[in-house]
A = this chain, B = another copy of it.
Amino acid sequence: MQDFRFQSPTTIIFGKNTQCDVGQETKKYGKKVLLHYGKGHIKKTGLYQQVVDSLKEAGIDFVELGGVCPNPRLSLVREGIELCRRQGVDFILAVGGGSAIDSAKAIAIGVPYDGDVWDFYSGKEYPKKTLPVGVVLTIPATGSEASNSSVITNEENKTKRGIVNNFLRPVFAIMNPELTITLPPYQTACGAADIMAHVMERYFTRVQNVELTDRLCESTLKTLINNTPVVLSRPDDYNARAEIMWAGTLAHNDVLSTGRISDWASHWIEHELSAINDVAHGAGLAIIFPAWMKYVYRHDVTRFVQFAVRVWNVEQAFNDPEKTARDGIDSLEVFFRSIGLPTRLYEIDITKNDFDRIVENCMRYDDNTVGQFVKLSDEDIYHILKLAE
């Protein structure tokens, strides 16, 4: 086990009608709020009005900025920062999924910073201050409601970049599974794939003797594997929605990475897919993760055997560990397909012609390798894309 430092202070307020407590919760942290949300779906469902009523009831003054889209844009973040400065906003409330939250986090670190907020995402600067961020979550997927990360797309140069910093964790996350019942099947499945990917990025480590967190990861994956088909066939199953929603938070608040070195290669590669064609993050991950596995599993067959047996109940071929490992990877791919996700690049209109650009974008940072389980070179990434073709 590796040494670690862990803190996840976000207050989770989980259950029915919890969105109606947002005013009281917000009041503890701020006086003037930016209400930040997406394309107006929350107005159709009535959530917007509930949030506004709760804020007003608590006597909280607010301004609003909607329009966050999937793969949230730098331009809107900059607009939000200007708005907050002009209006003296001291608290950002994100109502929505990971895009609204990541955008809110970017605004929150941008407001007290003199330079351009992209400096943080390009790696030029580390954020040193933030406004507090609160969340009313509507989509279980990114885990951003309690995570220390934010991912923003710079539409000028088609680059998607994430940052990690412990004070990017929201101060509270209001999570009502009822709000996820209206999520369309494809978005539900993409969310599940994203959550599973967050667990698997942590699960596939070369650090030995991490039994507790291995098992916690396996538990989370099994819960998702069991409950995702349930909500696809019975969208209004509250309990299954609740399992997925809570799994989404625990998958990415870092308790599952304690004592381990996580991988993140699949996320890096996927970011470049969705920067190119705006594919949903979960769908991109459903394509890249199995391909990554097929490419790297021989580096630690034992870990992939454990994944196959414990997570997928694959019958172990004791005399052929590689077969067992491959059966586990196949099970994952079959599962993704069964919940309606693509598992090949052609399904999202990415062809061999895009590969060089994707590889090049992946390689822009750090030491010219991607990932930790295996440090992938540009050539490795090309081969992974070929496997996903």
Contacts and interface: CB of A to CB of B under 8 A. Distances in A.
Interface of A: 1-16, 18, 177, 208-209, 211-212, 215-216, 218-220, 222-223, 226-227, 238-240, 242-243, 246-247, 250, 255, 258-259
A83 to B, nearest CB: 30
B14 A242 contact: no
- Nearest 9 A-B pairs (CB), nearest first? A3-B15, A215-B219, A209-B239, A9-B9, A7-B11, A212-B223, A1-B242, A6-B12, A219-B219
A216 to B, nearest CB: 5
A243 B255 CA distance: 14
A199 B270 CA distance: 38
Contacts of A4: 12, 14-15
A81 to B, nearest CB: 28
Contacts of A222: 215
A246 B212 contact: yes
Which of A3, A239, A247, A255 has its CB near the most chain B CB atoms (within 10 A)?
Answer: A3
Nearest to A3: B15
A4 B18 CA distance: 10
A349 to B, nearest CB: 36
Nearest to A224: B212
Contacts of A242: 1, 209, 259
Contacts of A211: 223, 226-227, 243
Given A1-B242, A211-B223, A212-B223, 16 more contacts: A1-B177, A1-B246, A4-B12, A5-B13, A5-B14, A208-B239, A209-B239, A211-B226, A211-B243, A212-B219, A212-B247, A215-B219, A216-B216, A216-B219, A246-B259, A255-B255
Given A215-B219, A215-B222, A209 B243 contact: yes
Contacts of A3: 14-16, 18
A242 B242 CA distance: 31
A12 B1 contact: no
Contacts of A10: 7
